[in-house]
Chains A and B, each alone.
Chain A
Amino acid sequence: MSANTGLTNQQREFRWAMVFMSPWIVGFLVFMAGPMLWSLWLSFTDYDPLRANTAFVGLDNYRELLVDPEVRTSLWNTVFFTVFYVPGTIASGLALALLLQRVGRAVGFFRTAFYLPNITPAVAVGALFLLLLNGRDGLVNQALRAIGLPGPSWLNDPAWIKPGVILMMLWSVGSTVIIYLAALQNVPRDLYEAAEVDGAGAWHKFRYITLPMISGAIFFTLIINTIASLQLFTEVYAMFFGGQESGAAGQAALFYVIYLFRNAFEFFAMGYASALAWVLFVVIGIITVIQVKTSKRWVYYEGD
């Protein structure tokens, strides 16, 4: 105990910790927690930013959510995308990281090349894939035709629009690759050497050493990619809703956050949009909790 202040070292450290954390705490309260709580309140109102009066409508916005066919459509589109995109990005990211690990000195070049799509503006990605995915003359279908496969109508056939969007988003797998590559490089060599002494083949080394040792990284990408998928917006909005006529894609490309955005900024139904936002928040929360709970069965931490 300090004779001067009457505080223990621990108390003094806590006080200084709070001082240093206060900019973040204030920022969090003012720019995150406060607006979030405010939007929760708005979700129980008919708030329209252009109107003088706002009425409390109780659960009306949430009741309307249940019967709104466009909520059903946008939820289905979003879930479909997530279910295929997240495993797809994990599998392709891991495969690419494993390949990169073997390229030796050229790894730096490939790492940069794979990451480039992630620094391409999302709107540019959307515009680029409008050309690449064209059903008649797009590069993707030209490649498919070259190997004897009929190219689908990625942009106009409602059954193929979501697979087309998944393909576009997989192009930006670079950030996942970088995470896996870092994890792979941290797996101790002596584990592989020990396995080889015991006669383990490539598959067994991958299955019983590599996968458990990078399971923490896989779990991390599972969580962030799931959240990102459920919040998909910019690329798809630029492709199908960004000024040009909606074409066939209108409903097939109506993802949840796009519908939320349209309600907020095109229809000025901010109360309803807030309810949509909170439902998404709860859905993401539930999925994340499930992922965290189940992770205990398959994620290995070195400290465990």
Chain B
Amino acid sequence: MRARSTASGLALALIAAACGGGGAGGVGDNTPQGEEITAAPSDAQASLFVFGATYETGDEIAKTRVDRFQELYPSVDVEFSESGFEEQPFLSALASGDPPDVVNIPRNQLGTFIARGVLDPLDSCLEAEGIDMGVFYESAVEQVTVEGVAYAVPEFFNSRLWMINTKAFEDAGLNPDEFDFSDWDAIADANEKLTKGGNRPTRLGIDPKLPEFLPLWAVANGTPVISDDGMESQLDDPAVAEALEFANSLHEPAGGRTSFLDFRDTWDFFGAKNQFAQDQLAAMPMEQWYLTVLAEASPDVDLTVRPFETRDGEPITWADGNSWAIPAESQDKAAACAFIRAMTEKDAWLAAAEARAQTAKKENQPNTGVYTGNREADEEIFANLDLGEWPWLEEAVQVVRDVQEHAWSLPPSPASAQFENAYKAAGDEVMNQGTDAEQVLTQADERVQREIDRAAR
């Protein structure tokens, strides 16, 4: 009965949202696109509603930068949604005619909103505030740029790398520092050796992290899942199917995907008894933020970090992160633009990194730094990092820093949510039903291409 009332509420919300949009008109209706921003916010009292970000419940990285903005612009009253970005409340805010002034949005989702005219191009903002997009990582800038126009400013920069249980590798006679991750046969052999317990595993060899990491396996196999402009699905490329089949085969030594996942679900992923500390996993590709988790939860874990590699032996990472954008209907674009600059400029990041360092020192934990989208900020942050007490972390951070220049990112697609759903659903079908990967991915490609074409109209 609760499900009934919930679903009824959902149906009503759907209908109400539909009514709010007005049918023939939408949020982008008659909105001035790319309104000229000519000056920083004046001293007059202004208010700024920031969506998709937290302050009261945020960490020192968020608070330090916001406090700095408030010092620079004391007349601007800033209010936060105090939650991460969610499509539904964002849609409700837009449809109800109460749009936020600035929004923190995952770069992977930007394309959907750019294609619909929800976000302002930032040309005049960048010019007015003197924001140099050249200081940000190239792949991050590509994620926020459509046809040469930037629609957002990158915030963080998440890279994916191999995280390796050093002892497990060494016990299996493998050298984690020299293991050839470009050789997929070698990965498969190592996986057999590293898996313990067979059908009821007590240690997984290699977790391919499917279907979420399919884009990384595909790009390592030579073909990104989508074209550089985000307009052509490439899921039907045989290289993508080959990548999916190979990565899926890594579940087999543990008795297949079901027993693999059943065991994985028991891990204390964020705790002191995590899978590396407990020797429950030998290796997995993972976002670099997990190093910070390990540094706090089990700083003495014996971990080796290596870059993901293409089959040609080149380092590669799949990078993403958040970004700051200005909705077309923002009420105070000058203040929004100043806020974006204050959240992403070098000095703001240095202050935030210093605050993080102080927190880590106070809690007697290693400080793994802050991985920003701003290359210049990162250079200073990581030049001053002291991890001598934790040599594995020091090496790991250097690997992360090196691989950042070899990043590939999902380009902005007008149907980004549908595209993510398409490759995950196809991956699920192949893994769960044993269906031919090429056939499933070809069908998924046809369907999602229709969605992209429709969204781009």
Mark interface residues in A150-169 (1 if CB within 8 Å of B CB, else 0): 00010111100000000001
Residues of chain A contacted by B212 (CB below 8 angstroms)? 245-246
Within 8 Å by CB of A49, from B1, B30, B91, B415, lies B91
Return B230 CB to nearest CB of chain A, in Å.
Answer: 16
On whether the beta carbons of B18 and A38 are closer than 8 Å, the reply is yes
Whole-angstrom CA separation of A290 from B101 in the bound complex: 52
A53 lies within 8 A of chain B by Cβ: yes
On whether the beta carbons of A257 and B24 are closer than 8 Å, the reply is no
Within 8 Å by CB of A274, from B7, B14, B20, B263, lies B14
Within 8 Å by CB of B257, from A248, A264, A270, lies A248
Residues of chain A contacted by B265 (CB below 8 angstroms)? 130, 134-136, 155-156
Whole-angstrom CA separation of A227 from B4 in the bound complex: 7
Mark interface residues in B9-31 (1 if CB within 8 Å of A CB, else 0): 01110111111110111111110
Whole-angstrom CA separation of A264 from B2 in the bound complex: 21
Select the residue from B14, B27, B87, B113 with max chain A CB neighbours within 10 A.
Answer: B14
A262 lies within 8 A of chain B by Cβ: yes
Residues of chain A contacted by B428 (CB below 8 angstroms)? 246, 248, 250-251
Whole-angstrom CA separation of A253 from B318 in the bound complex: 28
On whether the beta carbons of A234 and B3 are closer than 8 Å, the reply is yes
Closest to B17 in A: A49
Residues of chain B contacted by A34 (CB below 8 angstroms)? 19
Return A142 CB to nearest CB of chain B, in Å.
Answer: 12
Return A16 CB to nearest CB of chain B, in Å.
Answer: 30
Interface secondary structure of A, over-half rule: helix
Residues of chain A contacted by B15 (CB below 8 angstroms)? 35-36, 38-39
Residues of chain B contacted by A51 (CB below 8 angstroms)? 26-28, 116-117
Whole-angstrom CA separation of A153 from B199 in the bound complex: 13
Known: A228-B3, A267-B415. A273 touches B14 (CB 8 A): yes
Whole-angstrom CA separation of A31 from B262 in the bound complex: 45
A54 lies within 8 A of chain B by Cβ: yes
B353 lies within 8 A of chain A by Cβ: no
Known: A39-B14, A52-B29. A250 touches B417 (CB 8 A): no
Return B255 CB to nearest CB of chain A, in Å.
Answer: 11
Residues of chain A contacted by B16 (CB below 8 angstroms)? 35
On whether the beta carbons of B94 and A251 are closer than 8 Å, the reply is no
Number of interface residues of B (CB under 8 A): 61
Return B281 CB to nearest CB of chain A, in Å.
Answer: 14
On whether the beta carbons of A50 and B3 are closer than 8 Å, the reply is no
Return A270 CB to nearest CB of chain B, in Å.
Answer: 6
On whether the beta carbons of B117 and A136 are closer than 8 Å, the reply is no
Known: A50-B116, A248-B258. A231 touches B3 (CB 8 A): yes
On whether the beta carbons of B432 and A172 are closer than 8 Å, the reply is no
Residues of chain A contacted by B432 (CB below 8 angstroms)? 158, 248, 251-252
B266 lies within 8 A of chain A by Cβ: yes
B241 lies within 8 A of chain A by Cβ: no
A118 lies within 8 A of chain B by Cβ: yes
Mark interface residues in A206-250 (1 if CB within 8 Å of B CB, else 0): 000000000000000000110111011111000000000111101
On whether the beta carbons of B8 and A49 are closer than 8 Å, the reply is no
Select the residue from B4, B211, B431 with max chain A CB neighbours within 10 A.
Answer: B4
Residues of chain B contacted by A84 (CB below 8 angstroms)? none
Interface residues of A (CB under 8 A from B): 31, 34-36, 38-39, 41-42, 45-54, 69-70, 118, 122, 130, 134-137, 153, 155-158, 169, 172, 175, 224-225, 227-229, 231-235, 245-248, 250-252, 257, 260-262, 264-268, 270, 273-274, 277
Given A50-B113, A157-B258, A175-B1, list of 10 further CB < 8 A pairs?
A49-B20, A49-B27, A52-B25, A53-B24, A54-B25, A122-B2, A233-B10, A246-B212, A251-B428, A266-B417
Interface residues of B (CB under 8 A from A): 1-4, 6-8, 10-12, 14-21, 23-30, 87-88, 91, 94-95, 112-113, 116-118, 211-212, 257-259, 261-263, 265-266, 415, 417-418, 421, 424-425, 428-429, 431-433, 443, 447, 451, 454
Q: Can you spell out 24 A-B residue pairs with CB atoms less than 8 angstroms apart?
A: A36-B15, A38-B18, A39-B15, A49-B17, A49-B26, A49-B94, A70-B425, A118-B1, A130-B265, A157-B258, A175-B1, A231-B4, A231-B7, A233-B6, A233-B10, A234-B6, A245-B212, A260-B10, A265-B87, A265-B91, A267-B417, A268-B116, A270-B21, A274-B14
